[in-house]
Amino acid sequence: MDESGHTTGTVTLILDGDNLTPEQVQAVAYGRKLSLKIAPGALRRMRKSRAWVERLQESGTPIVYGINTGFGSKATVSISKAHLKALQHNLIRSHASGTGAPFPIEVVRAAMLLRAQTLVKGFSGVRVEVVETLLRMLERNVVPWIPSQGSLGASGDLAPLSHLALVMSRPPEDGETDWSGRAYWLDGATERWVLLSGKEAMERAGIPRVVLEAREGLALNNGTQISTALLTLAYQQARRLVKTADIAMSLSLEGLLGIGRAFREEIHQLRPYAGQLATARNIRKLIQGSRWVNIHPERVQDAYSLRCHPQVLAGVRDTLDYIRRILQVELNATTDNPIIVPELDEENKALSGGNFHAQPIAFAADFLSIILCEVGSIAERRIFRLSDRHLNQGLPSFLCKNGGLENGLMIAQYTAAALVAENRSLAHPASVDSIPTCENQEDHVSMAPVAARKAWQILENVQKIVAIELLFAAQAIDLRLQEMGKAQHPDAVLGTGTCAAYRKVREIVEPLTTDRPLYEDMEALTRLVAGGQLVTHVEKSVGELE
């Protein structure tokens, strides 16, 4: 990615329905130049299931949910052949009922890719042109404006996905009111996103909108793709964030003249969680060569926020591995209803089930919220320790020389504490809640999009907390260097990785020599954390972190 977070170069991807990865989702979500195609085998499967739907559309039998019946509690209402197209368009129009601030453009792009991926598996009975329209929208940078609230995570992300479908579809009859929603279009001349009506955005991109036929409206709005897109991108950023948390902790360890023996291999092999072992290896790699760690042999152990960092991050990293396993299934699953299985040796080749129910995604998103909450919580304890002259091994209060007259980093710690408190309230699981809907036909829902949105917010908060820790740790190191005289250089005393991190931080923000507003420093370091540039820079010195 470049410094703005966009994928550099052209992202080329052939969708086969089976092999999509979180890394590919991220590359497409943040890419500006895409080449997206459908694999030949997937095209064959799609055409086979579509042929059966078209025969049903023509004959009117058998009775299949959502093709020639109403939806939800109206599944017992039969729909005549003459109204099958209107049925699908009415579904999209009525269900585009979200509210709230719009999702980030990258989240919607990820959801568009995931919707295409589930449809190319060939069990949804849609025409190839429906998926190709989605892919052309991604390639030509048309992104539906989708409000972030209104989905229960079953029957899928109905409201937000209907906002997507509004943009790409048009009315069955000329002269009908054309509710095309809203969409962003990337102006190639200015490289800025412009918010237009869906119709105008598609026209500017030169993409014909489709008239939805039997099954296709339901195929577009019935699934977990919004929740899964949020979780996938949050997971990808969380993986990078835990590396950054290791870097920040190592800088704090240096600034506090901490004890490195707590990270020795002998300790962690006796409780060999994979995440614990990986974290300890990262810390050893980052502080290798340090002359400040272990400088006080009379101190036998540090506080938990330093000493127990590998044990806390053990659960974080191991839970991230679990979340990845969930995503690997969900990214390559058929998640709508009914599914069309042409190979069935019976007249009705449609099976009604509940693959749209996003409970696994809801659990995974809540787990992500919980573990990220703890990454921020333990980082804030180190920030507090650095700020307190009774705990920071001889440094001044709030890391400023003229305490009393000046306040130094005092309030930056307050900000970190406020973010931790907010995270704790957000981390209450959404997945344990359910509100029956649709005349009690849909009597248990997952709340996955709520869980995923909370995880996204906690992720952003923890990025800010870790940025604040970097601010404190770098300031502590500056004060130590000043104590040792002008001839002392960070390269001579810091570990290989921590020195690289310190120098990168100092490229972004200057040392604090007198009171100044800190919000710009905090914002700049948050961008450094969120964009991954700090991890990239440090890994050039020490090799890839785990």
Burial string for 223-261 (b: 16+ CB within 10 Å, else e) reads bbbbbbbbbbbbbbbbbbbbbbbbbbbbbbbbbbbbbbe
Say what angle helices 309-330 and 22-29 make with each other, to 10 degrees.
80
Q: Are 135 and 36 in contact (CB under 8 A)?
A: yes
| Phi-psi group of 257: left, alpha or beta (phi > 0 → left; psi -120 to 50 → alpha; rest → beta) | left
Name the packing angle between helices 225-255 and 309-330 (round to 10°): 160
Catalytic entry in 30, 65, 235, 304: 65
Beta bridge partners of 184: 143, 195
Burial label for 437, CB within 10 Å (0-12, 13-18, 19+), is middle
Task: In whole angstroms, give the CA distance from residue 533 to residue 527.
Answer: 9
Reply yes or no on whether 184 is catalytic.
no
Q: How many CA atoms lie within 13 A of 59 on its CB side?
A: 12
The secondary structure of 50-83, three-state, reads: HHHHHHHHHHCCCCCCCCCECCHHHCCCECCHHH
- Tell me whether strands 147-149 and 99-102 are parallel, antiparallel or unpaired: antiparallel
SS3 37: strand
51-59, long-range: CB within 8 Å, 24+ apart, which pairs? 51/342, 52/125, 52/340, 52/342, 52/349, 53/125, 53/214, 53/215, 53/340, 54/214, 56/214, 57/81, 57/84, 57/213, 57/214
* C-alpha dist (Å) from residue 540 to 63, 155, 281, 422, 506: 61, 46, 17, 35, 17
Cα 458 vs. chain centroid, distance in angstroms?
Answer: 11
Q: 214 near 79, Cβ under 8 Å?
A: no
Helix/strand/coil for 107: helix
CA–CA separation, 350 and 53 (whole Å): 9
Name the residues annotated as catalytic.
65
